Amino acid sequence: MKAYRRSRRISLEEAAREVRYRFLAEVAEATSADSVAVGHTLDDHIETILMHLIRGSGTRGLRGLQPSGQWRSGNTALTVIRLLLEVGREETVAYCRHYRLKPRLDTSNLSLSLLRNRIRQQLIPLLESYNPQVTDALLRTARIAADDLAALEEAALKLGHGVVKEQESTVILDKERFLKLPSALQHHLLRAAIEKLLGNLMDIESRHIEEIMNSINKPAGRIVTLPDGLLFVIEYDRYLLGSDPAALSPFPDIA
C-alpha cells in the first residue's frame, strides 16, 4: 500500500480506496458481473459531502455519494451501486446485533490521521452543537447541488455543442465558442473534460479549475499543470487538455 501511495503521490486514504475498487473491478470481471454493490450508509454520505466541501470540489462534489455511478482509473472501470445511502450507521449496527451478525471492523477508522475520521469523530459533533439538525441541512444542500448540476448538464448539451471534441487522448475546446459561454458552464465543461480523461475527479479541486479559468485569456503557449500529469495548453484558437506533451505542444516543430 505504501509503495502504491508513493507511486501515485496521493494520500493513504485515497490509495486504499483505489486499491479496494481495483480489487472489486477484478472480481467483477472474473465473475462476469456488470456491477458491484457496496455498503456505504447515510453517515458515509454526510462525511463525503463535508469532505468535498472542505476540499472545495464544487457543485458535483456537494452532491456527496450517488446511488449508482461509474468508478474509473486508467483502463479499469466499475459500476458501483450504493443501496444503503438512506440507512444510518446506527441502524446497520442494530441490524447486525439483532441477527447476531459479526461485521468486520477496520481499525484504521479510529485513526485521526485520516481526514474522513476527523470529520466523523470531531467535525460532525462540533457542527451538531451549532445545529442539531445539521445532517438534514447537509442532505438538503446535496439535493440542491444535484438539481443545479442536472440543470448545468442540460445547458451543456444545448449551449456546449461544437465547443468540445475528442482526439485520441486529448480534449480540444474551441476557444472562441468557449469564451462566449457563461462562467458556470465553462467550469462545468472543464470538469467534464478532465473527468473524461482521468476517469474521476478525486484529485481535482476548485482551485485547479480556477487556475485554468485565470489563464484562459493568457497568450498562446501558456501551460497549466494539473494533478495526475494532466496539462491545459493554450493555443491561438483552441485549448487542449491531455497528458501527452508531444500532442499538446502549442508550437509544433518546423521541419
**Residue 177: which CATH number?**
3.30.465.60
**Three-state SS at 180:** coil
d(CA 20, CA 113): 19
> Using CB atoms within 10 A of its CB, is residue 234 exposed (0-12), middle (13-18) or buried (19+)?
buried
Residue 216 has what pLDDT? Answer: 95
Whole-angstrom Cα distance, residue 247 to residue 255? 16
Q: Is 122 exposed, middle or buried (0-12, 13-18, 19+ CB in 10 A)?
A: exposed
Pick from 194, 203, 233: which is nearest to 216 by CA? 233
Quick one: 83 and 189 in the same domain?
no
Is the entire prediction scored with pTM above 0.95? no
- Strands annotated E in the chain: 36-41, 68-73, 76-84, 164-167, 170-174, 223-225, 231-234, 238-242
Do 102 and 168 share a structural domain? no
Query: Does one domain contain both 167 and 143?
Result: no
pLDDT at position 4, please? 67
pLDDT at 35 over 70: yes
Residue 203 has pLDDT above 90, yes or no: no
Model confidence band, residue 20 (pLDDT cutoffs 50, 70, 90)? confident
pLDDT averaged over every residue in the chain: 88
For residues 138 and 168, membership in a common domain is answered with no
One-letter amino acid of 228: D
CA distance 237 to 243: 20
Cα separation of 92 and 98, whole Å?
10
**Same domain, yes or no, for 182 and 71?**
no
| Domain carrying residue 97 | 2-148
Q: Read off the pLDDT band of 253 (50, 70, 90).
A: very low
188 in the same domain as 130? no
pLDDT tens, position by position, 71-93? 876 677 789 999 999 999 999 99
- Per the listing, cell 497528458 goes with 243
If you search the block for the grid coordinates 453517515, which residue do you land on? 43
78 touches 31 (CB < 8 A): no
Query: Which secondary-structure segment (H or E) carries 31?
Result: none
- Cα distance between residue 64 and residue 88, in whole Å: 15
Please report the pLDDT score of residue 34 as a whole number. 87
Which pLDDT belongs to residue 2? 66
